[in-house]
Structure 1
């Protein structure tokens, strides 16, 4: 009798070949592409669909109303992080990763088929809100499962490099959203985009989920997750257990995320509106500038991940903290007054370079604070809370400062939060639970 063939999901992580490890990491992080594509499509196309869902004469008020729904979607993320984090800890990283993708596609399909305000009145923005809440629930679960999976599957010497795949796919989702926008801007008129063209990317997002579900069907489960399930320790994963047994760790994740996510959304999603609403660029030019800057940001991720492996996480967070505190105000001030597309690109790229100090270490820094049985929840829930409060409100707060003629207050706000996040990690002791859990 021949030996029984080992299923892909049962291969011990230490025995994985380089190709198997890369395939698993790509599959584990691919959901970020779909999830964040769907999430950013809303932001990228706000300039076109805001007038048909929020009929107002003032364009800033229209954008503000759309931004409020964008922010409210973030407030479902903690609930999603709680539910999906516990599910991922108890049922396995693979199960959590698979479930989150389908939920996002449903929300995208709802938006793609949504009638306008003129057709169904106030029900239109209400249904839009419901769809965004569903997407927020999904996205809240994706981050924790993905971050935990990547950190557990990576080898100790290359954690930063492997973990960078999360932001590579995350940013790829945003770039894909911007690429779809650029193609549609080149092929459709402004009126066609505003009337029906904006629906196309939401249909694309719903369809992309099928590919990711196929990629994830043969994912390799991590050793830590399997060991936790066999020992029964994973049954202790709950929000009560998290805040009772690991309150300081949860607080560190929350504060580290606060400035990082604010900086990330300020230089990615908000700058597109900023270039149009403050700097005076056309929508098309603003999209092109934003897409080029975000592409630059994506290419930085594996380099920064490798640097964090070589020089340590604190070096990277020092770079983020000092750079963010010193240069956020002048970068946005110069951006507000420039009329040069090239200058605008370099200013945004400089802000994203600074933000890379956070993105290069955040997945590992958060995962290392918690043991395997509660790691997915421990990473996801405080992150989702901070992202909801600070990331989700980035555009709304920026537009409020703009509406009250005190836009520089927004720059100060970003600088202060970056400083708080950097100091949180620099001053804290961060023992690596990842190494303790390796089997």
Structure 2
């Protein structure tokens, strides 16, 4: 396979030349700028690896001029979000943030080589158009809007690569639906999709759940057990609420992403894994990095392709179709007679701000179907509170909970275990609430 490397940084260019010199399957020709590359590229080349920020010509303009003639991989040190997204639109197969391990780039090249060989066997064109013509699997999406379609287009392009994706957005916008969409539209669609909620697994169990353990690793480890990463081999892992991952485990996750290998608890032996990582968060990761609660290097690895999912208030066209779908599903689930929304109820749903997004909408509709009398669901059946009133109620509940935790901790002399038992919650949940309410212990 003949590969062109376009890189203005002489140190990076030479180090890649040296690394690939010993790889028999790949012939590398390097160029110090895109203009030289454009003059030399011919039909003997199959793949182009390019930096983005270069003098004379920007890497994206270079890709644009190539017009999908070659497969492409981007390597960059400081690409903006817009440039990262634009590179995906231009059909980039993979995206690497500097610094990176050359072995990972080699894996990406070999994947591309395998894909091209498969396409040739199927008598398909070797350009990106053959991938673009693949039918998009929209499973999981009930409604459409302009804002949703824009994000889904980028997600679909991202799905054609193995790059890590970080899904951003408010709670309840449908991040897991997007994660599953990316998996279903990738080459890994027939392999497992494993969703893991970081906030739902107690901290002391998280490591063994993710990485697995060997017999005798701890008191109850009577037999070895594979972790969730191993069970997802060949497929995709969705790390929801990644911002809640304990700092102590982040180094192990970074190694799993970078080196594609994990180590079980109680073992010194590394196990190779082949998984695609998709993560999601609704917290401010940058603030957590500033507060030394989240590793910056891990953040960069997770957000090769960051994807911001807009809130429901920016996707108004979806509200009524989603409400109708949930109504029909609830009627079917409980065996009710058919029901319809009144015009006032529809108008109320369209005007409401839905600060809990799709999750709140579906919950409200299910409740309305169950509690409404007769065949018409009225506005009163929705029980929609004004946003300010709801916020005030939530704030009051939070204030009371915070005060209760402070009093219990004081009575227990800040013994977290005793306080957790009195409050009837797991110690990990208590720690989370202590951090949330900024309680000094």
TM-score bracket for this pair, using the shorter chain length: under 0.3
Q: TM-score, normalised by structure 1?
A: 0.23
Q: Indicate the structure with greater helix content.
A: 1
Q: Indicate the structure with greater strand content.
A: 2
Q: TM-score, normalised by structure 2?
A: 0.23
Work out which structure has the larger RCO, using CA pairs closer than 8 Å and 6 or more positions apart in sequence: 1
Structure whose CA Rg is larger? 2
